[in-house]
Amino acid sequence: MRKIFAGIALLALVAGLGASAQNRSASKGPNEDGTKPALIKIAGEGTLDSHAYQYLTELSDDVGARVTGSPQAQKAVEWGLAKMKAIGLENVHAEKWQLWRGWTRGTAEAEMLSPIRRPLHVDAMGWTGSTPAGGAEGDVVALNLFDLDGEMKNMSRFTGKIPLVVMRGEPNKSFIQLFAQFGDFLKAAGKAGVIAVIGGQGGGKSAGLNLTHTGILGFDADFAVPVVSMTAEDQGQLERYLARGLVPRVHFNVQNTFTSGPVESANVVGEIRGRENPEQVLVVGGHLDSWDLSEGSTDNGMGSSCVLGAADAIMRSGMKPRRTIRFVLFTGEEQGIDGSFAYVKQHQSEMANHLGSLILDNGQGPVRSFQLGGRDDLVEAFKQFAAAISYIREVKVDDKVEDGTDTLPFSMAGLPGINMDQDSPDYQYTHHSAADALEAVKPDVLAQDATLMALAAYWIADRPERFASPWSPEKTARMLIAQHEDAMLKAFGLWPKAFADIEKRNVSTE
């Protein structure tokens, strides 16, 4: 789901260079802290004998699409458990959690009836509803995402119509607030008897040649009204008609199914136990669930196969880290980062012993930076690690919080939710689309990403000094506010009461 926030992320990019010098030993890197011989062995296994692409091929071809809560997702969980066991991880098990509601895609057909008659290419957005059986037809009307306040004053104007999301003028809110408000519109649209809404994730337009992009429209958000993603070519034509004052008429038949209640899902967990401090845990993760227009090879088969490839490279190196590396394949990321939120909740009593999490979920490209999830105190030390891997790849280090994937719950817990950010220019095409297939992934890039994950994981878990302990809620809340994450978290109801109380106290004492 990460990409919807990409625009905002760019604006919020703050160089985390303000790290304190700290004590010198805490800033030692692999060249000085004794971890380098092990890293050399792991790099050899990871680059010369990588199994990551083989894992991704199996996941793409033998499992395929795996929407959280579906039988295919259950198959993916079983596949993940079998892989972790075959790799030789310890304590391999599934950790169950409940998704608020299940959803299954049915058909999505659209036909333009006038001004010309032809089929339109659409796919339903996830967790959205259906037209009446057999479909319904109506006029297409523009819906300005940049003025939802004005649009929502008169919802009856959309009754029996097909709102098409356009962006006119200047936005009067941040994109994240617009995305949240779009959800409010969709609720009202359901009540107002709208036939269907044309607009992709966050109301955004499709990218690419004749591609649609599915996705969720909030965190754990479902809507009775059908919402579709339409190809850029078809949507562009409708927009041109509207601009000329013509009113296109379209017939929609969209059929999806919701479960009546919660459905079960599970995170897949396996460990390399620490040789000195097994109780201290670094989580290394990616999300196993995907959307269903293709195989989910880039989102997030890449992350899943990096996690398994990293585990495999470390195991085959024969090296044992000081502390435990816990490999986790999360589910429910696409519905609202649910699996990793569930993980943090289920492991609450153990969080003080966590060192952080290391996550990859930004497409098919090479790693370009490690974003330390709010922890500016760790930037200097991590730069020493980056220097040690510079012959494999030059990577940057900053303290940015990534809020669009499984890093977020860890950053909110005051831990470094480390995002392995990637240079993935083609991700805009494969993201949640029919092009998200194995063809989009280069084996050498995947092997390198998996190796960098293995090296970072091993270094964090093995260095003599403990890498990180959780910050207090107070310090964490302040950091999230400083990084402007509070607006998004509040807009989607994810700002914890503890943080709100801290904010209130701070205001009253100022």
Closest CA to 115 of 242, 206, 254: 242
Residue 123 and residue 263 in contact, taking contact as beta carbons nearer than 8 Å:
no
Q: How far is CA 116 from CA 87, 152, 329, 418, in A?
A: 57, 30, 48, 51
Shortest distance, position 140 Cβ to Zn ion, whole Å: 31
Angle at 303 between CA 104 and CA 257, to 5 degrees: 5
Q: Nearer Cβ to Zn ion, position 299 or 377?
A: 299
Shortest distance, position 173 Cβ to Zn ion, whole Å: 25
Q: Nearer Cβ to Zn ion, position 361 or 380?
A: 361
Shortest distance, position 85 Cβ to Zn ion, whole Å: 25
Shortest distance, position 76 Cβ to Zn ion, whole Å: 14
Q: Nearer Cβ to Zn ion, position 238 or 308?
A: 308
Q: Nearer Cβ to Zn ion, position 324 or 405?
A: 405
Give backbone dihedrals phi and psi of 489, rounded to 5 degrees, phi first.
-65, -40
Under DSSP, the state recorded for 223 is: B
Instruction: Check the CA dihedral 437-442-443-445 and report its sign.
Output: negative
Angstrom distance (rounded) from CA 226 to CA 186: 9
C-alpha atoms less than 13 angstroms from C-alpha of 202 in its C-beta half-sphere: 20
Helix, strand, or coil here: 264?
strand
Shortest distance, position 291 Cβ to Zn ion, whole Å: 9
Give contact residues for Zn ion (rule: CB under 5 A).
299-300, 361
Q: Structure tokens of 225? A: 């009204």
Closest CA to 81 of 329, 446, 263, 332: 329
Q: Nearer Cβ to Zn ion, position 299 or 403?
A: 299
Q: Nearer Cβ to Zn ion, position 7 or 278?
A: 7
Under DSSP, the state recorded for 196 is: -
Q: Nearer Cβ to Zn ion, position 102 or 363?
A: 363
Q: Nearer Cβ to Zn ion, position 179 or 459?
A: 179
Residue type, 121: H
C-alpha atoms less than 13 angstroms from C-alpha of 56 in its C-beta half-sphere: 35
Q: Nearer Cβ to Zn ion, position 97 or 291?
A: 291
Q: Nearer Cβ to Zn ion, position 181 or 212?
A: 212
Under DSSP, the state recorded for 136 is: E
Under DSSP, the state recorded for 147 is: G
Shortest distance, position 3 Cβ to Zn ion, whole Å: 8
Q: Nearer Cβ to Zn ion, position 430 or 476?
A: 430
Shortest distance, position 425 Cβ to Zn ion, whole Å: 17
Shortest distance, position 437 Cβ to Zn ion, whole Å: 15
Angstrom distance (rounded) from CA 49 to CA 43: 10
**DSSP E strands, 210-353:** 227-230, 249-258, 263-272, 277-287, 323-330
Per residue in 475-504, is it b (16+ CB within 10 Å) or e — as a string? ebbbbbbebbbbbbbebbebbeeebeebee
Q: How far is CA 232 from CA 213, 238, 248, 414, 429, in A?
A: 10, 10, 16, 41, 11
Shortest distance, position 220 Cβ to Zn ion, whole Å: 16
Shortest distance, position 343 Cβ to Zn ion, whole Å: 16
Angstrom distance (rounded) from CA 178 to CA 166: 13
Q: Structure tokens of 312? A: 């495999």
Shortest distance, position 24 Cβ to Zn ion, whole Å: 38
Closest CA to 198 of 150, 247, 236: 236
Under DSSP, the state recorded for 128 is: B
Shortest distance, position 288 Cβ to Zn ion, whole Å: 10
Angstrom distance (rounded) from CA 427 to CA 436: 9
Residue 307 and residue 85 in contact, taking contact as beta carbons nearer than 8 Å:
no
Q: Nearer Cβ to Zn ion, position 35 or 201?
A: 201
